[in-house]
Amino acid sequence: MRPTPFIIRPTLALFAALAFASSVQAGDLDVEFKANIRATTCDMSIGGATTTTTIPFGDVLLNDVISHRADTSFDETTMERFTLDVVNCPESLKSLKTAISGVHANDNTILISSVTGDSDLGGLGVQFSRSTNMSSHFLIYGATNPSGNDGTDTQVIYWSQDEIDAKKIDMVAHLVTMRADATNSNIGAFQATATFNFTYE
């Protein structure tokens, strides 16, 4: 008999305050994201923490967000590293996948603000990737398919056997503009929440 999949959903909240920078006006951006972890059968955490986790981006200029939008190597001004961790999983664990859900832009690899439901709020968002493959961004699934049941291995995080054995995946969160030309990027507050849906057998 095929084992019943278990689905668990740790939540990651992301916050930012954006300031505009140009040749005549300087500003900075304070960014942090927080993760709320709920107890489950197979314990999941972000960065090894089982309580709320805050990971600050520090001060970032809007110009930096724009200029580093297409980066495929790590840049500390607009990116933060974190890990997805698993502990206390059953010895019978054979497979594990993680789908990311939340409010997304028309480009459904970009997580955006869920405060008002306005897809253009702030013109900013966050993309997620493995640290080893930053050119490939995972999809953000909506309410109709939060677990990414039809997602491929480039859309959903399918854990490799090495990652299961290591009990973690190294990830990168990348603050980006929603449009390449940043024409809808505004200054002000930004807040977004991602839910990591873990399914294991």
Q: Tell me the per-residue pLDDT of 32-52, one tens digit each, with 9 for 90 and over.
A: 666 555 444 678 887 776 555
Predicted local confidence at residue 18, as pLDDT: 56
Give the pLDDT confidence score for residue 197 in this predicted structure: 85
Position 38 in a domain:
no
Number of domains in the chain: 1
Average confidence (pLDDT) over 145-159: 86
What's the pLDDT tens digit per position in 21-37?
444 444 455 556 665 55
Q: Taking 80 as the threshold, does the pLDDT of residue 99 lie above it?
A: yes
Task: Give dist(CA 79, CA 65) in Å, integer.
Answer: 9
In a domain, 103, yes or no: yes
Distance CA 115, CA 62 (A): 21
- For residue 107, the surrounding DSSP H or E stretch is none
CATH of the domain at 186: 2.60.40.1090
User: What is this structure's pTM?
Assistant: 0.77
- The amino acid at residue 181 is D
Please answer whether residues 12 and 195 qualify as being in contact, where contact means their C-beta atoms are separated by less than 8 angstroms.
yes
Containing structural domain, residue 54: 43-200
Start-to-end Cα distance in the chain = 12
31: in domain: no
Q: Is 8 inside any structural domain?
A: no
Residue 65 lies inside a defined structural domain of this protein: yes
In a domain, 139, yes or no: yes
At residue 5, the pLDDT reads 47
Q: Which of 42, 74, 75, 50 is nearest to 61 (CA)?
A: 75
pLDDT over 80 at 124, yes or no: yes
Closest by CA to 6, choosing from 138, 97, 142, 139, is 97
* Residue 74 in domain: yes
For residue 193, being part of any structural domain is answered with yes
